[in-house]
Amino acid sequence: MKWKKVTPELNRFLEDNMASFAADRRPMFGASTYFVNGNMFAGIHEDTIILRLSEADRREIISQHDDVAPFEPMPGRFMKEYVTLPESVYSQPDTFKKWLNRSYQYALSLKPKAKSVKKK
């Protein structure tokens, strides 16, 4: 299965919007992905931004934006708690910042993940 390559512009766009968040950046899906307390909360897949949201927030954003959908990186394989934001949503600065902040706050509320120890 081939994925669309993430554009450098979209990667930069998310990086710029993440500047005010205390988050760890790691590569995933060929782009920058962001974690807080070991929990992923934002990233890019193909030409969409993905956010991790609470159940109530997922219902709200999906009801407000027809283009927002549950994140399905492979057919039939949904990533629980994640939605995709197309350009029609992330190009609206106030709307995007609102949902990015909710994603960050939700990830902060989750139990921190223990760091894995790499074997030598």
Whole-model pTM: value is: 0.90
Containing structural domain, residue 46: 12-89+99-109
Residue 74 lies in a domain: yes
Residue 104 lies in a domain: yes
Whether residue 1 has pLDDT greater than 60: no
Distance CA 35, CA 41 (A): 6
How do residues 10-55 score in pLDDT, each as one tens digit?
A: 999 999 999 999 999 998 877 899 999 999 999 999 999 999 999 9
Q: Is residue 104 classed exposed, middle or buried when 0-12, 13-18 and 19+ CB atoms within 10 A define those classes? A: buried
pLDDT of res. 61: 97
DSSP state of 23: -
Residue 6 lies in a domain: no
How is residue 78 written in tokens? 């949904």
Q: For residues 37 and 108, is the Cβ–Cβ distance under 8 A?
A: yes
Domain total in the chain = 1
Residue 49 lies in a domain: yes
CATH of the domain at 60: 3.90.1150.30
Residue 117 lies in a domain: no
Residue 71 lies in a domain: yes
At 35 the three-state DSSP class reads strand
Whether residue 98 has pLDDT greater than 80: yes
Residue 3 lies in a domain: no
pLDDT of res. 51: 98
